[in-house]
Amino acid sequence: MTTQLISLITGANKGIGFEVARQLATLGHSIIIGARDEASGRQAAEKLRSNGHRAVHALIDVTDRVTADAAAKQIDIQFGRLDVLINNAGISIDARTVPSKLGLDILRRTFETNAFGAVTMIQSMLPLLLRSEGARIVNVSSGLGSLTQNCDPEYEFAAVKLLAYNSSKTALNAFTIQFSHELRNTNIKVNSADPGFTATDLNGHRGTRTVEQAAKVIVHLATLPASGPSGGFFDENGPIAW
């Protein structure tokens, strides 16, 4: 079995996910680019390989358990274990509709990807993560999922009240706490990351931060030492309020 760390990032064909993959590859990890689109997933893996990194693609739609289980089989055959799982895949489709007018289909679709998708991935990958000497799960959340910040009229993004997106990230944070508790006596750490408002397709590139800045906290949590925390919510400056 290889001593090189094996990292899977969902939604890694572009945006913050691809940058996290690139930074982990630069640290020497073997990368599995999780992408629901075959062509762009392959392209992203090829881009890393052309820069001298080790990278493969796995077809994963986080809303489809069958693809997650198939990816777990593929990883088992290719690597035999998994050291890092980054639940990065996410969507934001509220279109600034007020809660009283938001269609339940938008709410359901957002939760399926941003919240339940992470549960699907953890459940599918857990047997592989348990084979690692020290696995790390990072749930890519958002400051918009913080109930404390949502209640604070002085919060920088207090006006951004997206029923589906914000509450799906709150749910994801709740899942971080539940899984970290279940796994507290294993070598697996589970944390939530807030990458900050970043210029990507998700927000029409209106974000003010770069993907390089956004990836920093995610990579930090993916590479925590054995003495590091589990069951927390962090941005690049440290713990933030749930």
Which residues are catalytically annotated? Answer: 165, 169
Q: Any contact of residue 89 with ligand NAP (CB under 6 A)?
A: yes
Number of residues this chain uses to bind ligand NAP (CB under 6 A): 29
Looking at the chain, list the stretches that DSSP marks H as alpha helix, in order from N- to C-terminal side. 15-26, 38-50, 65-78, 104-110, 117-129, 147-150, 163-182, 211-222
Question: What x/- string results for residues 50 through 69 when contact with ligand NAP is judged by CB under 6 A?
Answer: ----------xxxx------
Rounded to a whole number of angstroms, the minimum distance from the CB of residue 185 to ligand NAP is 29
Using the Cα atoms of residue 59, residue 67, residue 178 and residue 114 in order, give the sign of their dihedral.
Answer: positive
Q: Any contact of residue 232 with ligand NAP (CB under 6 A)?
A: no
Site for ligand NAP in 11-30 (CB under 6 A): 11, 13-17
Q: Which of 120, 176, 198, 223 binds ligand NAP (CB under 6 A)?
A: 198
Q: Any contact of residue 79 with ligand NAP (CB under 6 A)?
A: no
Phi-psi map region of 113: left, alpha, beta (phi>0 left; psi -120 to 50 alpha):
alpha
**Where does this chain touch ligand NAP (CB under 6 A) — which range of 7-15, 96-104, 219-227, 228-236?**
7-15
Q: Which is nearer to ligand NAP, 2 or 208 (CB)?
A: 208
CA distance linking residue 110 with residue 107, whole number of Å: 5
DSSP-assigned states of every residue in 121-172? HHHHHHHHHTTSSS-EEEEE--GGG-HHHHT-TTSTTTT---HHHHHHHHHH
Q: Any contact of residue 33 with ligand NAP (CB under 6 A)?
A: no
Q: Any contact of residue 173 with ligand NAP (CB under 6 A)?
A: no
Rounded to a whole number of angstroms, the minimum distance from the CB of residue 16 to ligand NAP is 4
Residues in touch with ligand NAP (CB under 6 A): 10-11, 13-17, 36-37, 60-63, 88-91, 113, 117, 140, 142, 195, 197-198, 200-203, 207
